[in-house]
Structure 1
Amino acid sequence: MIKIVPDPPAPRLTTVHTRFSTCNDSHKPLFAVCEGVDIEDALVHLSMSLKSAFETNAQLCEMIDTPPLGGLAWATCHSLEICEALVESLLGRVERPQVR
């Protein structure tokens, strides 16, 4: 039997309300991620924020000469690079869904 009406598209993933920036619970949260933002839009913003943090930290790595601080800065640089790659991978999956 041939189905005349196609299945509706699967619902898109969205963000949930998430508060942040409480300074270790010393005050009420200053900021929040809004609920209901499409995951692709959220990933694009996350990617841009990670790129900004990566560039800022890379400049810091070039300025620090002392070994303990330089090592921490480079560790942060590598962690940001991993996060950026993961986000780009997820964003690529959202933009080009896998056909099954």
Structure 2
Amino acid sequence: MNDLTPDSPQDYPRTHHNPFGIRDADDHPLFCITEGIRAEDALAHASLLLKGAYETTYELTDIGLGHSGLLWSALHLVESAKALVDAVAANPQPAAHA
């Protein structure tokens, strides 16, 4: 017989600690993905970051490449989204406890 009890929140896949991006003079990362975020939440946020990167780069094609601030923004959005996806992929097993 199938158990109809839903999985507890602790059974969902979660992110792995994942520093990314630029580092300070002592080689400490300025950004990092926190361990233990639900994979579903991390991937939803990654999707929003990628949407922002898409829209930024789309605008750059219309106005030209002379806007380095927009290029930096797009790079950071893509890097952040990649870090979120990597943090989920690095910890595919459900957490034993949260």
Output the TM-score relative to the length of structure 1.
0.51
1:27 matched to which residue of 2? Answer: 27
* 2:22 match: secondary structure: coil
Q: How does 1:27-66 map to 2 (within 5 A)?
A: 27-64=27-64
Q: What displacement does 1:22 show? A: 2.9
Segments of 5+ residues of structure 2 without an aligned counterpart are 66-70, 86-98
Q: How does 1:6-21 map to 2 (within 5 A)?
A: 6=3, 9=7, 11-21=11-21
Query: Aligned in 2, Cα 1:34/1:56: closer, same or farther, shift over 3 Å?
Result: same
Output the TM-score relative to the length of structure 2.
0.52
Q: RMSD between aligned alpha carbons?
A: 3.4
Q: How many matched pairs?
A: 66
Which has the larger share of strand? Answer: 2
Q: What displacement does 1:13 show? A: 0.9
Query: Aligned in 2, Cα 1:21/1:63: closer, same or farther, shift over 3 Å?
Result: same
Q: What displacement does 1:63 show? A: 1.5
Q: Which consecutive aligned stretches of 4+ in structure 1 deviate over 2 angstroms post-superposition?
A: 5-11
**CA–CA distance in 2 between the matches of 1:62 and 1:36?**
40
Identical-pair percentage: 32
